[in-house]
Structure 1
Amino acid sequence: MKKVLVTGANGQLGQCLQKIAAQFKNLEFTFKNSKDLDITDVLSIKKSFDLVDFDYCINCAAYTDVEQAEKTPDIAFRVNAEGVKNLAFACKKHEVGLIHISTDYVFDGEKKEPYFIEDIPNPINEYGKSKLLGEKYIQEIMDDYCIIRTSWLYSGFGKNFYTTILNIAKVNHTLKISNTQVGYPTNALNLAKFINQLVILANFDSNLYHFTDKVEMTWFEFAKKILKTENLSNKVIIHNDKSTYLAARPINSRLD
């Protein structure tokens, strides 16, 4: 029985891992939210790692508010970089394999084709910069690790594009959605299953993966698909919109 620690358990990926945990009989999960285990607090991490001899740690803890990260980058870097560094040191000390979730936002979006793992990152906003620094800390500190970059993660849990569109559609009959960015929306449940398979195999073929559902669309097309799936197409009018943000977004977020 492999013992697996999941940080950031209240986020959408953490909740998806909880949803399917019972399907994996040979994995024993310990789920910790930010109150139970704060990755920015070395003592908090030490307490959790001293209690149980974990085999793996799946780090779902992250600061994901892209707009706010542009206003207060110190918060994003404290969680996405320094917190990840703390976790990497703990995992190395206790010989725990680390699976860390990263993002398409480590790239600038200027490439015309999907991004390969060999492509050189060049983030264009503070969120992406903080996530890339977290990746670098892991690579510098650890040998037994796996970084998984994913994109446009969605599920029925928490706040994400899917749930946001549905919530707005319930109270507003008009939506304005950007059609300037293209990417691969990724179901968080599919990512959760992939992560668990990596743990079961107990051998990372690579230290870096790109994982998406690989169906290309814009945010506008994704919103249309959500409304159609939920039978809301006839109730909501959706318009193309060249949205402007404080934080720059990569035009191409496709991960090969």
Structure 2
Amino acid sequence: MNTYLPPNRQTNGSNGKFMKVYGESTLIIKPDRSTVQLGVEVRNLELSVAQQESSRVIQLITDSLFELGISPSNIQTSEYTILPIYDYVDGNQQFKGYQITHMLSLTIENIEQTGVVIDMAVRNGANRILNIQFTVKHIDAYYQHTLQKALENARTKAQVIAQTMRLSLDPIPAQITELTVPPPPMPFQTFSEVGIAHAQSTPVQPGNIEIEAKVEVKFYYSS
């Protein structure tokens, strides 16, 4: 929440009387890019074998992404963990090997490629697909446009109230409070290892993004 105050000035004889109005606006747009985390989880009794298998699969996935035209700058490692695995039998701890999780974070500029990217990664050994999100490249610009419309909506409400009640409205707001912030990316779905193992294809429907702006505006008036 952000509040904006104009410089100190005379209030045209309002004697401190003011009204508060709320303005709002909503813009519905289609997302134009997506982000996804994908990678591989490998288990083996020998750490070196698990590391080699993890590296092999990630290289295959990365090469396939390059073939699809994904820029290297849009691919980065988001997670690399090595964990020992233990099991308990009759109350006794037994070492079962190591688990390596290697995840990549991708930004897909052509949103229509999202399903193709997931399918290609799975065919090349990916067994973890997480946090698919959809957004727009210049979301701040869309939000600023929506915020402008919300301010206009608030001003119109104040003018209608003043005209109806036969009041003299100071057109310069005394205080503006922004009640919303730009929306985060829209989550889509998280795939489990079992889910993607049985999937024939990955249909992706990004839907729409709703950008909302709300403001509280204080206007001085006189009768």
With normalisation by structure 2, the TM-score equals: 0.26
> Structure 1 or 2: larger strand share?
2
Relative CO higher for 1 or 2, CA cutoff 8 Å, sep ≥ 6? 2
Larger Rg: 2
> Structure 1 or 2: larger helix share?
1
